Amino acid sequence: MTSELDRNVPPYNHNPSAWSQRIPICVLAFVAAAISAHLSLFQWGFIESAWDPVFGDGSNRVLKSSTAERMFGIIGIHDAALGVLAYLGDAILGFAGSTRRWQYRPWLVILFGIDVIPLGIVSVVLVFCQAVVVGEWCFLCLVSAMISLILVYWAWDEVRASLSYLRLVWKQNSSVGLLWRAFWGYRSEAMERAAETLLSREVR
């Protein structure tokens, strides 16, 4: 059973749902959540200044800029606090499920991807705003953005594996009902056949 759970998933030469793949994601997500919590404390006024060993008071100006305030007015929560929630979501979703969740819990893997990938995009947009709109830099914001991009890179292979599995379920059966059941992790002979087709492909 263990070997079945830990089989490599082509085109990769590793299992994207293995703990060795997911634990680093969870650890980095917790680090990013702690960083975002510190920035959030400043935005909410609980601390006097955000720590920044590189740009000095630049972080404070970024976090209290008119752009940041407009974002707060639109979404009703500071962007750093939203980052805390998103990164904690990454960590929680990263820990959930077995080492074959790409097949047994596709909904969980896709939800994980929905949390990780847009967060990376938003981080890039916020860095762009720092440079172009605000004209200041925030050291911890840049660290957080870098972590977000790393998380996207690490998480994508598992999301791709689940999507490839679901695509094969559809391609082999052309059944919306069966695809829906596969998405929620149900198992049947047809679904196992699709998974085995994926696992039997050539590893690059």
User: pLDDT class for 2, splitting at 50, 70, 90?
Assistant: very low
- What 3-state DSSP class applies to 5? helix
Q: What is the mean pLDDT of the chain?
A: 90
* pTM, full prediction: 0.88
pLDDT tier at 19, thresholds 50, 70, 90: very high
In a domain, 106, yes or no: yes
CATH of the domain at 137: 1.20.1440.130
Q: What is the mean predicted confidence (pLDDT) over 154-170?
A: 96
**What Å distances lie between residue 80 and 34, 51, 136, 140, 151, CA to CA?**
10, 14, 17, 11, 17
Domain that holds residue 104: 15-156
Q: Which residue has the tokens 């200041």?
A: 136
- Model confidence at 123, pLDDT cuts 50, 70, 90, reads confident
Question: Cα 134 vs. chain centroid, distance in angstroms?
Answer: 27
User: What local confidence, expressed as pLDDT, does residue 128 receive?
Assistant: 80
Residue 7 has pLDDT above 50, yes or no: yes
Count the Cβ atoms, other than its own, within 10 Å of residue 199.
Answer: 16
- Whether the per-residue pLDDT at 58 is higher than 50: the answer is yes
Residue from 25, 35, 39, 153 nearest 89 by CA: 25
Summarize the confidence of residues 52-64 as an average pLDDT: 89
pLDDT of 149 over the 60 cut? yes
pLDDT over 90, % of the chain: 69
- Asked if pLDDT for residue 112 goes beyond 80, the answer is yes
Residue 202 belongs to a domain: no
The most distant pair of C-alpha atoms in the chain lies apart, rounded to whole Å, by 61
Distance from C-alpha of 137 to C-alpha of 50, rounded to nearest angstrom: 12
Number of independent structural domains in the chain: 1
Q: Which residue has the tokens 């995009």?
A: 121
192 part of a folded domain: no
Question: pLDDT tier at 135 (50, 70, 90 boundaries)?
Answer: confident
> Is residue 161 situated within a structural domain?
no
* pLDDT for 1 beyond 60: no
